[in-house]
Amino acid sequence: MKKIFLAAALVFISLGVHAGGRAPQAPAKTQAVTASTANAALNPADFQDMVNRYCITCHNQKAMIPPGAPLFLDMANLKDPSVDTEIWEKVIRKIGVGAMPPQGSSTPGAAELNKFRSSLISALDSAAAKQNSPGRYVIHRLNRTEYANSIRDLVGVDIDVTDLLPSDGGDFGFDNIAAALKTSPLLLERYLTAALQISDLAVGDTEVAPGTASFSISTEVTQNDHVEGLPLGTRGGKIAHYNFPADGEYVLYGRLLRTVAEGYVGVEGHETPYQFIITLDGEQVFSAPVGGKEDHESSAKNIVISREEVDKRMTSPRIPITAGTHDVGFTWVERPTQEQNVWQPPLRDSLEAHNPSGIPRLRTGNIQGPFNVTGISETATRKRLFVCHPTTPAKENPCANEILSTVARRAFRRPVGSTDMEAAMQFYTLARKNGGDFNAGIRAGLARILASPSFIFRTERDDASLPPGAVHRISDLELASRMSFFLWSSIPDDELLNLAISGRLQEPRVLDAQVKRMIADDKSDALMTEFTGQWLQLRNLNKVKPDLLMFPDFDDNLRQSFRRETELLFTSIVRENRSTLNLLDADYTFV
């Protein structure tokens, strides 16, 4: 964006650490015209008589004006305005917009007020420049998005973090502000539970108990169009990226959307049935007819029995599936869906919650299992995790240390030594003593790493040779973490980490090249979606529910298009290095 975004990124991630003292206020000159040479020579204390006569008569500790947020100018330091920066910045703003003195009150005149205002601006800017403090560094807990992205890049497991961790809340709409990311014993317990589940998914578990994973579809989603990722010639439904814990047999099934009257949508009112299909990695593995004359008559006779019959028909037999991540699709074979009972059917297909007719629509896709487990295949996750394979019992401990230290190096975002690995190896050893095999030991050690404060929290160390609170440059490793979490909302990759370890990351050419590389990487989509979602409050679109009678064609499809259009515009401006003014006057958009 004419170098603006790149420069902002470099400034943000290159700030030093300030361990103590209060953070300085933002320089007031951002709200003011640059003072002239004559005005710059004026001292705010020269205007003390003017302040006493025109300002303090109202703004003092006795008058308490304005109510609720009184301004005490009788106690403010005019000889050194930086002592009361917040107070004098309010004065600067009020004078700048002509709000003070109030209309009808006596005034020293615009010229005198502008001189006073310019002297305040100069004094505050000078004080801020001398202080030159980046502010106090606050320990930063990974928020939900950062945690999920870090897990993905660390062990290759995609998780639904909303099922594992509570909402982070936020400050001014942003959930990545360190001071707003609170921590509690209960939250740390949730991180521990998440670590145990993730380690099972990453390594695999032949002793996992059968369970059911459900993937729901909003009732506001219109399902008459093709869904990206599902085979051509299908419409509606959902694709689930699911990590199967072990080789075994799984049952796949779908459930239809119910109406308020407990009828199933798509079962009644059709002469011929629709074809429900389930796909595995793009290949059809199951199909079943839904609707048609027989279903219509059965539903009219007994809704409960009809629903049980349809549920049973939409459930696959046990299907052998290997461990690892697979794409499971639940969808319908496409066919003309134009209804003939109205002149112009609405675009949204869920206007009437009581009407069981219309095309069939799914409410959930479900995966149940595993049953009859036979082992764990060599998944992509295991290939990444298992950097060695012990061939004899004597080689198991050294191999386990190599596997876990490789993970810990990236998880902790720094080189690790024997002290760092003690806890993880203790968990590995304990799991083996309790009768677990090599996989069980690695699962235990991995869970310990993922629950470690060195992974969950981002910290920066003060230079021991400096006095407390002194400003100093951050290390290359700390810079690498700032860069990766700012641009990727995730941990540094090997290239970035290796440059930091070698001490080359802060070289101007290297730093510039790395920022450009990271922005071009698909992982920077996290910046585009998360930043716009918080900055422009696009996340709040999920709360937008217009009146159906006034806007009958509004559905979740349109809601998501609203958000995606804005994200793509912001992404194009960043990645194509366009002017930031295009946010206001772009002559192009995305549909």
Give helix 525-535 / helix 556-575 axis angle, nearest 10°: 120
pLDDT of residue 416: 94
The pLDDT of residue 2 is above 60: no
Could you give the angle at the alpha carbon of 68 between the alpha carbons of 121 and 84, nearest 5°?
Answer: 30
Residue 588 exposed, middle or buried by CB count within 10 Å (0-12, 13-18, 19+): exposed
Give the pLDDT band (50/70/90) at residue 108.
confident
Q: Note the pLDDT of residue 337.
A: 56
Sign of CA dihedral 526, 530, 535, 541: positive
- How far apart are the C-alpha atoms of 306 and 294, rounded to whole Å? 10
Q: Decide: 247 and 303 in contact? Cβ < 8 Å.
A: no
- pLDDT score, position 333: 94
The pLDDT, as a whole number, for residue 368 is: 93
**Tokens 């079962």 belong to residue:** 267
Q: Which residue has the tokens 């190896």?
A: 425
- To which residue do tokens 């020269």 refer? 46
Q: Residue 260 phi/psi, 5° resolution?
A: -60, -35
Among all chains, which residue has been given the structure tokens 């690790």? 416
Return left, alpha or beta for 2; rule: phi > 0 is left, psi -120 to 50 is alpha, else beta: left
Position 543 scores a pLDDT of: 85
For residues 487 and 21, the answer to whether their CB atoms sit within 8 Å is: no
Mean pLDDT for all residues in the chain: 85
CA–CA dist 570, 557 (Å, integer): 20
Contact 460, 478 (CB under 8 A): yes
User: How big is the CA angle at 15 (ends 14 and 19), to the nearest 5 degrees?
Assistant: 140
What's residue 104's pLDDT? 78
Quote the percentage of the chain above a pLDDT of 70. Answer: 88
SS3 call for 131: helix
Mean pLDDT of all residues in 228-256: 94
The whole-angstrom separation of Cα 259 and Cα 382 is: 44
For 284, the 3-state DSSP assignment is strand
Contacts of 383 (CB under 8 A, 6+ apart): none
| Interatomic CA distance for residues 189 and 78, integer angstroms | 51
With contact defined as beta carbons under 8 Å apart, do 269 and 296 qualify? yes
**Chain-centre distance for alpha carbon 222:** 26
Residue 472, pLDDT > 90, answer no
For the segment 296-303, the average pLDDT, to the nearest whole number, is: 88
Cα torsion angle, 567, 572, 575, 580, sign: negative
**Pairing relation of β-strands 274-280 and 283-290?**
antiparallel
Please give the Cα distance from 435 to 352 (Å, whole number): 58
Q: Is the pLDDT of residue 299 over 60?
A: yes
Residue 468 has pLDDT above 80, yes or no: no
Going from the C-alpha of 209 to that of each of 122, 242, 246, 369, the distances in angstroms are 69, 16, 10, 8
**Per-residue pLDDT for 569 more than 50?**
yes
Give the model's pLDDT for residue 348: 67
Return the residue matching tokens 């979606």: 529
Which residue type is seen at 291?
A: G
Lowest mean pLDDT among 8-22, 263-277, 519-533: 8-22
350 phi, psi to nearest 5 deg = -130, 40
According to the model, what pLDDT value does residue 100 have?
81
> pLDDT per residue over 66-89, tens digit each?
887 788 888 888 888 888 888 888
For residue range 408-458, what is the model confidence (pLDDT) as tens digits? 999 999 999 999 999 999 999 999 999 999 999 999 999 999 999 999 999
Look at 144-158, 262-276, 398-412, 416-430 and tell me which has the smallest mean pLDDT: 262-276
Using the predicted structure, report yes or no on whether residue 538 has a pLDDT greater than 60: yes
**247 and 372 in contact (C-beta within 8 Å)?**
no
Per-residue pLDDT band for 8 (boundaries 50, 70, 90) equals very low
Kindly state the average pLDDT of the residues 100-116. 85
Q: Using alpha carbons, select from 75, 84, 25, 85 the residue that is nearest to residue 51.
A: 75
Which three-class secondary structure string do you get for 394-460? Answer: HHHHHHHHHHHHHHHHHHHCCCCCHHHHHHHHHHHHHHHHCCCCHHHHHHHHHHHHHCCHHHHEECC
**Amino acid 354: pLDDT:** 62
Could you count the other beta carbons within 10 Å of the beta carbon of residue 447?
A: 24
Provide CB contacts within 8 A for 543, sequence distance 6+. Answer: none
Q: Which residue has the higher pLDDT, 237 or 11?
A: 237
Distance CA 107, CA 98 (A): 11
Q: What local confidence, expressed as pLDDT, does residue 194 receive?
A: 94
CA dist., res. 421 & res. 494, Å (int): 19
SS3 101: coil
| Report field, pTM of the whole predicted structure over 0.75 | no
For 330-362, the pLDDT digits (tens) are 999 998 655 545 555 666 666 666 666 678 888
pLDDT band at 17; cut points 50, 70, 90:
very low
The CA dihedral of 377, 380, 386, 392, to the nearest 10 degrees, is 30
pLDDT number for residue 178: 84
In the sheet with 247-256, reading across from the earlier edge strand, the strands are: 211-216, 362-375, 247-256, 319-321
pLDDT at 370: 94
